[in-house]
């Protein structure tokens, strides 16, 4: 916590963020959350299902709009942004890693990774080169021209991580990244996260698995839409 | 922009079997359209070509049979009408033709080889220019010329059927026929004429001979063969050239304008098939809309992913729209190819000259693309309205 406060510009700054889903019955999924994630921090958010952690992930990832409160990403107030600007910010600043990978089956591994640079204006010529570097970083340089369907679960998740990293986001947001993996593959993914953390990447991992959560530098629990630590 | 195209192309190419099935409706529709229009144009071209040969260059001038007393024509055609007409630009050949009043005179083969009985055949008179004007083709012998005309030689040319009835099929032995009591030498037998079928059944003599033998006062009609496309012009000018003081006393038979013929035939042929093609296109469009919609539902997670990667709603909408335009365009392209092959194939079998408007060949793929555009609008809008969180929730 002390390191996060010491850094000048936090990546994530949430103050009193609320998210209600209009009913009936009205659901208060997120009820006044204050959260600061500093640069280079490795944070895990744990909570049982129904605790609002998916909603928090969506809010963090700019996939959803808070009902109230303040959310600044890299110092940018996201509440006042219009949808198109939010899409750009999302593409540029946030790398997503999903539980179910979300790879395009009909495209090669390399193309899947390059895809995340299409919408953020990286010149075409740079994309393939950067995608190769990113795949190399997660140890998949030998799988570049493969179809995702021929890869193991652990490999697919590493492709997804490479895709999340290649656009050089400010925040890597992982939603149950090991949920579909066996323990050996899960461990490999967590090691990749450790490496990324040591290289200075800011990570937020949302999970219900304490083994995953424990690897993080800082842990917060979410219960009934509020954070506890 | 190129990214968009790449993504759309990849999206389309991902499911080749489905792509083919999706384009099928458009292929059929465009093929029906192109084939129909192509065959229509081809057929109309053939018909018009036949019209060209037979009738489109024929102009006939006759005295108006109204206005005179007791059915008599108000005016008489002058003998020099062919000379007057010949000066007009666009006239290729001109001649006069008249039916002769021969009373009870019968026509009989001098040798009696036809059975010895007189035949009631039509006897006609013509100028030397008549042959060229009606595109007469000889079976044997020769036509009479100005010399025969001026000398009033007793010579005749037999129409094809008249020659058969008289039992005359060659002229090298100088056969002769009696018309009434007068003998006439047969100098030629016609094989065919166009426009004046009555000549086939007639015995034709020079005008000069007819004037002497039957007191022919004036020609019945002037037959004019014009250059292609000049018929309407000649039809306007001929009465004035023949009867400058009183052109309205003459009637002119001229072919309808060529364009009118072609258009009339085309519209008749095409209306039904065009309707058929339109229905097929509608079905094709619905097919594209349906499959695109299905594909939107299938690719919800892809849509969510793209949104997470920074795609705005319009990126999603445009991608699906472009995909459906590509599908439509491919369908149009294939359909055009099928239609063209159909047109050429039928033309080949029927020995026609295939005629196909270039605008049709190049426009039809665009029509397919347009159908894709229309068909893709709703699915594209639907895709863009999908919330990323909904889209990413799935497994």
Query: How far is the alpha carbon of A161 from chain B, nearest alpha carbon, in Å?
Result: 13
Task: Enter the tokens of residue B161.
Answer: 């059927």
Instruction: Give B199-228 pLDDT, tens digit per residue.
Output: 888 999 999 999 988 888 889 899 999 887
In this structure, what DSSP letter does residue B199 have? G
Amino acid B259: pLDDT: 55
pLDDT (mean) for A209-217: 90
Query: How far is the alpha carbon of B372 from chain A, nearest alpha carbon, in Å?
Result: 23
* pLDDT of B395 above 50: no
* pLDDT of A84 above 70: yes
* pLDDT of B366 above 90: yes
CB contact under 8 A, A87 and B307: yes
Task: Enter the tokens of residue B125.
Answer: 């008179």
User: Which residue pairs from B341-349 have beta carbons closer than 8 angstroms and sit at least 24 positions apart in sequence?
Assistant: B342/B31, B342/B34, B342/B35, B342/B38, B342/B39, B343/B34, B343/B35, B343/B38, B343/B39, B343/B42, B346/B39, B346/B42, B347/B39, B347/B42
Interface probe with B: pick from A85, A91, A156, most Cβ of B within 10 Å? A91
* pLDDT of B291 above 90: no
CA–CA separation, B22 vs B243, rounded Å?
Answer: 70
pLDDT (mean) for B107-132: 81
DSSP B224-252: EEE-TT-HHHHHHHHHHHH-TT-GGGEEE
Query: How far is the alpha carbon of A87 from chain B, nearest alpha carbon, in Å?
Result: 5
Of all residues in chain B, the one with the smallest CA distance to A90 is B310
What dihedral do alpha carbons A154, A158, A163, A169 form, nearest 10°?
120
What dihedral do alpha carbons B81, B82, B83, B87 form, nearest 10°?
110
Q: Provide, rounded to the nearest whole percent, the portion of chain B with pLDDT above 90.
A: 25
Amino acid B321: pLDDT: 94
Instruction: Give A86-120 pLDDT, tens digit per residue.
Output: 999 999 999 999 988 999 988 999 999 999 998 88
* pLDDT of A77 above 50: yes
* pLDDT of B32 above 70: yes
Residues in Cβ contact with B170 at an 8 Å cutoff, skipping those fewer than 6 apart: B140, B189
* pLDDT of A5 above 80: no
CB neighbours (10 Å) of residue B284? 29
Residues in Cβ contact with B190 at an 8 Å cutoff, skipping those fewer than 6 apart: B136, B137, B138, B139, B157, B158, B159, B160, B163, B199, B200
Residues in Cβ contact with B328 at an 8 Å cutoff, skipping those fewer than 6 apart: B23, B26, B285, B288, B368, B369, B370, B371, B372, B373, B375, B376
The mean predicted confidence, pLDDT, of chain A is 89
Q: With bands split at pLDDT 50, 70 and 90, how would you rate the model's confidence at B361?
A: confident
Residues of B in contact with A106 (CB under 8 A): 10, 13-15
Residues of A in contact with B308 (CB under 8 A): 61, 63, 90, 94, 96, 102
Residues in Cβ contact with B341 at an 8 Å cutoff, skipping those fewer than 6 apart: none
CB contact under 8 A, A104 and B308: no
What dihedral do alpha carbons B337, B338, B339, B343 form, nearest 10°?
100
Nearest Cα neighbor of A227 from A13, A40, A45, A29 is A45
Amino acid A1: pLDDT: 47
Q: Provide, rounded to the nearest whole percent, the portion of chain A with pLDDT above 90.
A: 55
* pLDDT of B378 above 90: yes
Domain ranges of chain A: 2-228
The CATH classification number of A2-228 equals 3.40.50.300
Yes or no: say if B379 and B320 are a contact pair by the CB < 8 Å rule.
yes
The mean predicted confidence, pLDDT, of chain B is 84
CB contact under 8 A, A102 and B392: yes
Amino acid B263: pLDDT: 58
Instruction: Give A152-161 pLDDT, tens digit per residue.
Output: 988 999 999 9
- The shortest CB-CB distance from A102 to any of B2, B10, B305 is to B305
pLDDT (mean) for B278-292: 87
CA–CA separation, B130 vs B175, rounded Å?
Answer: 23
CB contact under 8 A, A118 and B14: no
CB contact under 8 A, A83 and B302: no
Q: Which helix (H) or strand (E) holds B176?
A: strand B176-179
ipTM of predicted assembly, 2 dp: 0.89
pLDDT (mean) for B155-179: 88
Interface probe with A: pick from B16, B304, B305, B310, most Cβ of A within 10 Å? B310
Of all residues in chain B, the one with the smallest CA distance to A116 is B309
Amino acid B179: pLDDT: 86
Residues in Cβ contact with B186 at an 8 Å cutoff, skipping those fewer than 6 apart: B141, B155, B156, B157, B158, B163, B168, B171, B174, B175, B176, B177
Nearest Cα neighbor of A217 from A65, A80, A17, A43 is A43
CB contact under 8 A, B308 and A107: no
* pLDDT of B46 above 80: no
Yes or no: say if A11 and A37 are a contact pair by the CB < 8 Å rule.
yes
- The shortest CB-CB distance from A87 to any of B10, B304, B311 is to B311
Q: With bands split at pLDDT 50, 70 and 90, how would you rate the model's confidence at A45?
A: very high
Instruction: Give B61-114 pLDDT, tens digit per residue.
Output: 988 865 545 555 567 888 888 988 888 888 989 999 998 888 777 888 777 666
Alpha carbons within 13 angstroms on the beta-carbon side of residue B306 total: 27
Of all residues in chain B, the one with the smallest CA distance to A168 is B309
SS3 A123: coil
CB contact under 8 A, B309 and A98: no
CA–CA separation, B78 vs B82, rounded Å?
Answer: 9
Paired with A31 in beta bridges are A18
**Alpha helices for chain A (secondary structure H):** 2-6, 53-60, 83-93, 109-115, 124-137, 153-166, 183-198, 210-213
More confident: A14 or B276: A14
In this structure, what DSSP letter does residue B71 have? G
Of all residues in chain A, the one with the smallest CA distance to B14 is A106
- Number of inter-chain CB pairs under 8 A, A vs B: 73
* pLDDT of A229 above 60: yes
Residues of B in contact with A90 (CB under 8 A): 307-310
CA–CA separation, A166 vs A144, rounded Å?
Answer: 14
CB contact under 8 A, B304 and A102: yes
- The shortest CB-CB distance from A118 to any of B7, B304, B393 is to B7
Yes or no: say if A122 and A88 are a contact pair by the CB < 8 Å rule.
no
Query: How far is the alpha carbon of A6 from chain B, nearest alpha carbon, in Å?
Result: 31
* pLDDT of B18 above 70: yes
* pLDDT of B13 above 90: no
Helices (H), strands (E): how many in chain B? 13, 11
Of all residues in chain B, the one with the smallest CA distance to A55 is B389
Q: Measured between alpha carbons, how far is residue B295 from residues A48, A106, A118, A126 in Å?
A: 34, 14, 22, 31
Amino acid B197: pLDDT: 84
Query: Reading across the β-sheet that carries A218-223, which strands appear in turn?
Result: A94-97, A171-175, A203-207, A42-46, A218-223, A226-228
* pLDDT of B266 above 70: no
Paired with B91 in beta bridges are B226
Yes or no: say if B379 and B327 are a contact pair by the CB < 8 Å rule.
no
B253: left (phi over 0), alpha (psi -120 to 50) or beta: beta
Range with lowest mean pLDDT among A25-29, B60-64, B148-152, B258-262:
B258-262
């Amino acid at each position: 916590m002390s390191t996060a406060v010491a850094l000048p510009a936090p990546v994530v700054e949430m103050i009193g963020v609320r998210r209600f889903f209009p009913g009936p019955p009205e659901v208060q999924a997120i009820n006044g959350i204050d959260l600061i994630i500093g640069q280079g921090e490795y944070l895990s958010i744990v909570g049982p299902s129904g605790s609002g952690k998916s909603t928090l992930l969506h809010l963090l990832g700019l996939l959803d709009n808070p009902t109230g409160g303040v959310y600044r990403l890299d110092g940018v107030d996201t509440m006042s942004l219009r949808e198109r600007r939010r899409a750009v910010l999302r593409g540029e600043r946030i790398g997503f890693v999903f539980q179910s990978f979300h790879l395009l089956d009909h495209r090669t591994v390399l193309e899947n990774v390059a895809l995340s640079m299409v919408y953020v204006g990286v010149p075409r010529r740079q994309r393939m080169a950067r995608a190769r570097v990113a795949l190399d970083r997660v140890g998949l340089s030998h799988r570049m021209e493969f179809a995702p369907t021929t890869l193991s679960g652990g490999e697919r998740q590493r492709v997804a991580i490479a895709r999340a990293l290649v656009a050089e986001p400010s925040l890597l947001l992982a939603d149950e990244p090991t949920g579909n993996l066996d323990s050996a593959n899960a461990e490999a993914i967590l090691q990749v996260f450790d490496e990324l953390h040591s290289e200075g990447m800011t990570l937020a991992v949302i999970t219900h698995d304490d083994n995953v959560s424990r690897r993080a530098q800082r842990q917060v629990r979410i219960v009934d839409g509020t954070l506890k630590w | 922009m190129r990214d968009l195209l790449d993504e759309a192309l990849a999206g389309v190419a991902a499911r080749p079997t489905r792509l083919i099935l999706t384009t099928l409706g458009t292929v059929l529709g465009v093929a029906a359209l192109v084939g129909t229009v192509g065959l229509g144009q081809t057929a109309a071209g053939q018909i018009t070509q036949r019209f060209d040969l037979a009738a489109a260059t024929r102009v006939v001038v006759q005295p108006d049979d109204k206005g005179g007393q007791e059915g008599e024509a108000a005016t008489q055609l002058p003998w020099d009408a062919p000379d007057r007409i010949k000066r007009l630009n666009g006239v290729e050949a001109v001649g006069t033709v008249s039916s002769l009043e021969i009373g009870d005179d019968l026509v009989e083969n001098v040798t009696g080889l036809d059975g010895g009985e007189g035949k009631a055949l039509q006897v006609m008179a013509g100028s030397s220019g008549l042959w060229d004007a009606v595109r007469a083709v000889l079976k044997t012998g020769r036509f009479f010329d100005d010399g025969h005309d001026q000398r009033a030689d007793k010579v005749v040319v037999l129409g094809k059927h008249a020659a058969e009835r008289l039992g005359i099929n060659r002229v090298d032995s100088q056969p002769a026929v009696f018309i009434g009591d007068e003998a006439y030498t047969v100098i030629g037998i016609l094989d065919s004429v166009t426009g004046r079928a009555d000549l086939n059944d007639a015995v034709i003599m020079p005008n000069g001979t007819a004037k002497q033998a039957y007191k022919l006062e004036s020609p019945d009609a002037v037959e004019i063969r014009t250059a292609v496309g000049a018929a309407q012009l000649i039809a306007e000018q001929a009465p004035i050239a023949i009867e400058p003081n009183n052109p309205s006393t003459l009637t002119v038979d001229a072919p309808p304008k060529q364009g009118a013929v072609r258009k009339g035939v085309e519209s008749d042929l095409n209306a039904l098939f065009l309707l058929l093609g339109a229905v097929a296109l509608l079905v094709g469009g619905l097919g594209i809309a349906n499959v695109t919609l299905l594909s939107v539902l299938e690719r919800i997670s892809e849509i969510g992913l793209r949104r997470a990667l920074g795609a705005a709603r319009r990126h999603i909408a445009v991608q699906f729209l472009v995909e459906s335009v590509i599908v439509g365009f491919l369908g149009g392209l294939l359909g055009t190819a099928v239609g063209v092959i159909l047109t050429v194939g039928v033309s080949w079998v029927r020995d026609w000259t295939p005629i196909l408007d270039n605008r049709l060949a190049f426009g039809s793929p665009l029509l397919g693309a347009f159908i894709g555009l229309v068909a893709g609008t709703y699915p594209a809008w639907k895709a863009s309205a999908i919330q990323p969180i909904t889209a990413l929730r799935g497994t």
